[in-house]
Structure 1
Amino acid sequence: METKNIKGTIFENYKPRSDLPALVEKCMNMVNLSAQELELEKFITHDVPLPEINKAFEYLIKGESLRCVICME
């Protein structure tokens, strides 16, 4: 398993201190999830290459995106 670090997020009404542990717990217990309960792909609105990372922040700040995935390749 690959280790992931979450550095930050821009998301209205999201409380990382209380919401993130519950999300991690659900992910670690995937067998207990229904197909509708955790559909993260629906929240990804843009794929942005790393050299254009500032564009991803512009999308988020302007409210034009829910989540941007930064492509490292």
Structure 2
Amino acid sequence: MTGGGADYCFECIGSTSVMAEAFQSSRKGWGKTVVLGVSNGVAPMSIPSHDILMGRSVVGSLFGGLKPKADIPILAQKYVDKELELDEFVTHEMGFNDINAAFDLLTQGKCLRCIIWMDGARENGSVGVENGRACNAKARLTSLSYRD
């Protein structure tokens, strides 16, 4: 179908056997396999070294290639400067005492993003960026996500 393999192959489930199959499905000489799935991290993946020497490649892309130490302060500043629109994704805001209700909303699919305000932060101050770090001078803000 592809006449020699795919230029790009994407593995999205975290199975090392599927990672190897994706690699073998890539084009000899320049095919690239992108591993997106998260495995348990202990199972080895076996690929022929000759294929690597001849130009095939495997790259990982955890979190889309985001580098937290460098990128999160930049993203936080963009949010503060209103260059990054995130507020529309927040469907609920609750105090820490209501954290169990927030989890219930998330597991029931009734909430996209729920912000849990710590120590009365919502009433005490606004979130900002200080020394390249997202912060709140009077309290910390935590975003709650749910994944199976």
TM-score after normalising by structure 1: 0.55
Indicate the residue corresponding to 1:46 in structure 2: 92
What is the CA-CA distance between 1:29 and the residue it aligns to?
A: 7.3
What RMSD, in angstroms, separates the aligned Cα atoms of the two structures?
3.1
Q: Does 1:21 align with 2:66?
A: yes
Residue 11 of structure 1 aligns with which residue?
A: none
Match of 1:3 in 2: none
SS at match of 2:87: helix
The aligned residue for residue 7 of structure 1 is none
Largest Rg, 1 or 2? 2
Which structure carries more helix by proportion? 1
Q: Which runs of 4+ in 1 moved over 3 A?
A: 22-26
Could you list the runs of 5+ residues in structure 1 that have no partner in the other structure?
A: 1-14
In 2, Cα distance between equivalents of 1:51 and 1:24: 28
SS in structure 2 opposite 1:47?
strand
Alpha-carbon spacing, 1:51–1:28, altered in 2? closer, same or farther (3 Å):
closer
The TM-score, its normalising length taken from structure 2, stands at 0.30
Q: Which runs of 5+ in 2 are unaligned?
A: 1-37, 39-61, 121-148
Local SS of the residue matching 2:63: helix
**Aligned pair count?**
54
Once the two structures are TM-superposed, the CA of residue 18 in structure 1 deviates from its matched residue by 2.1
Match of 1:65 in 2: 111
CA distance 1:28–1:46, change in 2 (3 Å) = closer
Letter in 2 for 1:58: D
Higher strand share: 2
Percent identity at matched positions? 32
